Structure 1
Amino acid sequence: MNLRPDPTFHASPKLAMQAPIENYAFTVMLSPDGSQSDGIAVVDLKPGSDTYGQIVHQVIVPNKGDEFHHFGWNACSSSLSPLTGHAFLERRYLIVPGIRSSRIYVIDVKDPLKAHIHKTIEPEEIFAKTGYSRPHTIHCGPEGIYVSTLGGGGEDGTDGPPGIFIMDCETFEIIGQYEMDRGPQDKHYDFWWNLPQDYMVSSEWGLPPQFENGVVPEDLLSNKYGHSIHFWDLRARKNIQTIDFGENYQMALEIRPAHDPTKSYGFCGVVVDTTNLQGAIFTWWRDDDGTWQAKKVITIDPRPEKPENLPPLLQGFEAVPPLVTDIDLSLDDKYLYVACWGLGEMHQYDVTDPMNPKLVGKVEVGGIAKGETHPNGKPFVYGPQMVEVSRDGKRVYWTNSLYSTWDDQFYPDDEGGQMVMANNDENGFHLDKDFYIDFPKGYRSHQIRLEGGDCSTDSFCYPSV
């Protein structure tokens, strides 16, 4: 335990932006068919290093079939909250769930080049103590680690609704369910909060039978995936309002609140509008009377395409949907990055006015029936997927795999894992031709975490000055 707060914890977003740049990235390595064990790759990001842009260490777990997906830190800037009882934690451990196995690994990355497994939590403990399965998103709160799940109990995860459970951030013991009153919430995906304003927002994807073996076309076309976001009294652990975007807005995924804790708004990405195949971004906000509202502020059109160039799933539509599968917001709340996994595009929007976003940059790489190569001439399979922004907002990293069975449906002829980086500088938003990682054969890549924190890790307790 530290004798003072971890120097990577920052009171405000502005102070975090002034911190030293990241030296390493930690990136998921997943075996889509379970023939190999999954792992975490440590990537060298130090400019001028002899191994810059290379995998310099791997932590490969002993089990197979976990399917690593999302993961997060044991502690972050939320530890500076006045509510915390853990002021001297270190940002030291990565909490890495297997979305398919419901097993959780705790990985010690204090020395990134010697990262190793610190503890393994078996699925039986999670089932017994929470009634949940398929752990997904990790957020570090001031009093513990919050873990969202995609499944309830039972073999197929449909015995009761999924939700959030809490882990002790020092012992990593499972404490129990978060919810005291979930209201109408019966599906889950992402969540995030505003600590001083004491609210949380959560979103919806689908239940395990709707995603584990691939997208279920009948469920999608009959609008049976998630299309609502839920607002919570964070400390009371109570659902206070639910907003339904409309049943055609299928798969309301990433939640990105403004980083400045004085602001009461944020964004949610929607994968597809089943009436027209558009992707969408909604802005949500709180009125003066405390009521939450939401409005669609960005639409992204599909691209017409000949049926013979499309995977069977899309041939009848004769178009490539954008498939908005991830979004990320820079720490100054200025730029929203939107991954259009189907189109093979990463969009950059100026959201200084969150009700009137402006498209100011776009990078094209990968894409269905397109396969745009990297500027170095090498392939980028699938499309831009998990995106992570550096604290200073100058570097935007992303990988390419969505979820193993979905990759195979939308990109049946592709295989591989890549990680790339785009610069946001005086030359605009553009791919760095010298940064390109091709993952070892048989592995795909998903979420990225940056050493010292990033734009989807930390929640801040004090306003920027």
Structure 2
Amino acid sequence: MTRVRSRPSGRIARLRRACTALLLAAGPALADETCQSPYMVRITGVEDFVYVWTLGVEGLGDGSDKLVTVDVREGSPTFGRPIHAAPVGGRHEAHHGGFTDDRRQFWAAGLSDSRIFIFDVATDPAKPRLVRVIDDFVEKSGGAAGPHGAYALPGRMLIPSLSNKDGTGKAALVEYSNGGDYIATHWLPTAEAPNGAANAAVADGYGYDARVLPRRNVMLTSSFTGLDNYMRPLPELMKDAEAMKRFGQTMVVWDFHARQPRTVLHVPGVPLEIRWAWGPQHSYAFTSTALTSQIWLVHEEAGGAWRAKPVADIGDPAALPVPVDISLSADDSTLFVDTFMDGTTRVFDVSDPHRPKQIYEKKIGAQLNMVSQSWDGRRIYYTSSLLANWDKTGAENEQFLKAYAWDRKELTPRFSIDFTAERLGRPHMMAFGARSLYAN
């Protein structure tokens, strides 16, 4: 494992201070997504566009994965409509992505062949342009595979992997420069290779999300499964008892600056998305477990030890609603939780993070995956696709982007786009764009 210690340049240090100041001043003027890296430049004002990283479908349109731009400007003649698509050529199991810290590029990952697609979103924010493809991720990383997404660090991108070149779940965190040059690989701890982590007996080496709490020098990672599982049809996978044992049951607390795992937390049931609280004195994060349908809290105790515990059920766990994405409001008061199988979004009051209470729910569609909310909490966006081989079939294979207004009591529809009718594909991840970011 190669270890590096971040030594940001003067420009990056200034950028970090500016981002921190914006974060601490989290008022209604900040309309960016809540679930982003704290190192990233933020939108001031309302978002103009929603970028949708979309899986291609054979025989539908050009059949290619693509980054779709949707106009979300109120009063625009194209409001609520797709206005641009940037195809990448072929189908690569489009999944997650993220902006660089300066927000001039959007990096989008493909799970099936480990390609990373870099889009220029600064030159014309309405029309992102593919400018580079990283096609040697497995080779450069030393065997990591299945790049899950991209998370902005100062001058760098952190790429969590889901798998390795053998198709199993042993995963890594891989760093690149913003220019696309490989820097380092950090393997997740296993019982056989704990890399210095405490409680390594439960370490399974699986990876998924990675998020940083800078003021505590803490990075948290979660776990999913390897390529051999996530590329199989879901009904077939669920009938394979041995394969169902090969899912993550852990989260890892890291020393962020040293990129050193500190301790492994046992979180059974496949913990997926990680959402750190934003409050300057809040040292905790939420995740949800896909197979046990629970909200888990990861929190710092007196003395600096980190603990994980289940704090609420999501729907009826016995019915396997399968929680897939969560979104924490900027004031840390509410948590949106999407469940794939019943197509429902639920809102929890998490003002007491140890005792969440469900306060609202709404069925969004036959299936449901991602949720993105604006910083002021007034606009919520949803997409439908989970994985190409896991999405529902027939009439229940709904593929949509839906937008709602949220007044903390009710979700009110703003617009809906049928991605199948538009011949675009399966919409997965969303990200916000704005012309104001590049005005000067």
Contact 2:125–2:434, Cα closer than 8 Å, also in 1: no
Return the alpha-carbon distance in structure 1 between the equivalents of residues 210 and 280 of structure 2.
16
Q: Given the superposition, is the C-alpha separation of residues 343 and 219 from structure 1 closer, same or farther in structure 2, using an over 3 Å criterion?
A: same
Gaps of 5+ in 1: 76-89, 274-278, 304-318, 368-382, 454-465
Q: How many residues align?
A: 390
* Counterpart amino acid of residue 417 in structure 1: Q
| Mapping of residues 139-178 of structure 1, within 5 Å | 139-154=151-166, 157-158=167-168, 161-169=170-178, 171-178=179-186
Do 1:197 and 1:261's aligned partners in 2 also have CA atoms closer than 8 Å?
A: no
Residue 135 of structure 2 is aligned to residue 71 of structure 1: no
| Whole-angstrom distance in 2 between the partners of 1:357 and 1:419 | 28
- CA shift, 1:129, in A, is 3.6
Pick closer, same or farther for the CA change 1:221–1:356 going to 2, 3 Å: farther
TM-score (norm 2): 0.82
Shift in Å at residue 135 of structure 1? 0.4
Give 1:212 deviation, angstroms.
Answer: 0.8
Q: Does 1:438 align with 2:438?
A: no
Residue 456 (structure 1) aligns with: none
- Give, in whole Å, the separation in 1 of the partners of 2:280 and 2:170: 30
Cα shift at 1:301: 3.6
The CA deviation string for residues 51-70 of structure 1, in whole angstroms up to 9 with x for no partner, is: 11111111111x31212110
Q: Which of the numbers 355, 365, 368 marks the counterpart of 1:384?
A: 368
The residue aligned with 2:316 is 302
From 201, 209, 213, the counterpart of 1:194: 213
Match of 2:257 among 229, 235, 238: 235
Aligned position for 2:5: none
The SS at the match of 2:140 is helix
User: Cα offset for 1:365?
Assistant: 2.4
Residue aligned with 2:96, SS: coil
**Distance change in 2, residues 1:391/1:10 (3 Å):** farther
Whole-angstrom distance in 1 between the partners of 2:196 and 2:228: 22
- The residue type paired with residue 307 of structure 2 is Q
Deviation of 1:220 (Å):
7.3
Q: CA RMSD in A?
A: 2.6
What SS is found at the alignment partner of 2:274?
A: strand
Amino acid at match of 1:173: D
Q: Which residue in 1 is equivalent to 2:42?
A: none
**Shift in Å at residue 366 of structure 1?**
2.0
Q: 1:390 to 1:58 in 2, by over 3 A?
A: same
Shift of 1:214: 2.8
Aligned to 2:7: none
**What one-letter code is carried by the residue in structure 1 that aligns with 2:65?**
D
Distance in 2, matches of 1:16 and 1:206, equals 35
Match of 2:140 among 116, 128, 138: 128
**What residue identity is the alignment partner of 1:346?**
T
Q: For residues 49 and 429 of structure 2, what CA distance do their matches in structure 1 show?
A: 14
- What amino acid is the match of 1:100? S
C-alpha deviation, 1:413, in angstroms: 4.4
Aligned residue among 81, 86, 97 for 1:54: 81
Q: Contact 1:131 / 1:152 at 8 angstroms: preserved in 2? A: yes
Classify the secondary structure of the residue corresponding to 2:291.
strand
> CA-to-partner distance for each residue in 1:404-427, whole Å, 9 max, x for gaps?
10114xx4543342011222216x
2:431 corresponds to: 449
* Residue of 72, 97, 105 corresponding to 1:93: 105
CA shift digits 1:244-267 (9 cap, x unpaired)? 124xx2x21111111234321111
Check conservation: 1:13, 1:331, Cα contact below 8 A.
Answer: no
Q: Which residue of 1 aligns with 2:125?
A: 112
The structural deviation recorded for 1:199 is: 0.6
- Alpha-carbon separation, structure 1, partners of 2:17 and 2:86: 25
Q: Can you list the C-alpha shifts for 1:57-109, whole angstroms capped at 9, x where unaligned?
A: 11111x3121211010011xxxxxxxxxxxxxx31110011111211111011
Structure 1 counterpart of 2:354? 355
CA distance in 2, matches of 1:301, 1:115: 39
Structure 1 residue identity aligned to 2:66: G
On the 8 A contact 1:10/1:16 being kept in 2, the answer is no
Distance 1:392 1:452, change over 3 A: farther
Contact 1:205 1:252 in 2 (8 A): yes
CA contact (8 A) 2:300 2:307 kept: yes
1:415 to 381, 390, 397: 397
Aligned residues of 1:25 and 1:45 also touching (Cα < 8 A): yes
Q: Give, in whole Å, the separation in 1 of the partners of 2:217 and 2:15.
A: 23
How does 1:305-384 map onto structure 2 within 5 Å? 320-367=319-366, 383-384=367-368
* CA deviation map 1:132-169 (0-9, x unaligned): 11100211012411000111124xx23x8211100102
- Write the distance in 1 (CA, Å) between the matches of 2:51 and 2:75: 19
Cα offsets for 1:10-38 (capped at 9, x unmatched): 62435344231111110012124597111
Percent identity of equivalent pairs: 26
Does the residue aligned with 1:204 lie in a helix, a strand or coil? coil
Are 2:42 and 1:30 aligned? no
Distance in 2 separating the partners of 1:365 and 1:290:
40
Going from structure 1 to structure 2, the CA distance change for 1:320 and 1:442 (only over 3 Å counts) comes to: farther
* Alignment pair present for 1:288 and 2:302: yes
Aligned mates of 1:56, 1:105 — CA distance in 2: 20
Contact 1:363 1:431 in 2 (8 A): no
Kindly indicate whether the alpha-carbon contact (under 8 Å) linking 2:211 and 2:221 is maintained by their aligned counterparts in 1.
yes
What does 1:12-31 correspond to in 2, within 5 Å?
A: 12-13=22-23, 15-17=25-27, 18-19=29-30, 20-31=45-56
TM-score normalised according to structure 1 size: 0.78
2:24/2:280 contact within 8 Å kept: no
Q: Secondary structure at the match of 1:404?
A: coil
Separation in 2 of the partners of 1:399 and 1:118?
Answer: 26
Map of 2:4 onto structure 1: none
Letter in 1 for 2:96: H
User: Structure 1 pair 149/423, CA: closer, same or farther in 2 (3 Å)?
Assistant: same
Q: CA deviation at 1:447?
A: 0.5
Specify the code of the residue in structure 1 equivalent to 2:369.
Q
How far off its partner does 1:243 sit? Answer: 1.4
1:270 corresponds in structure 2 to 289
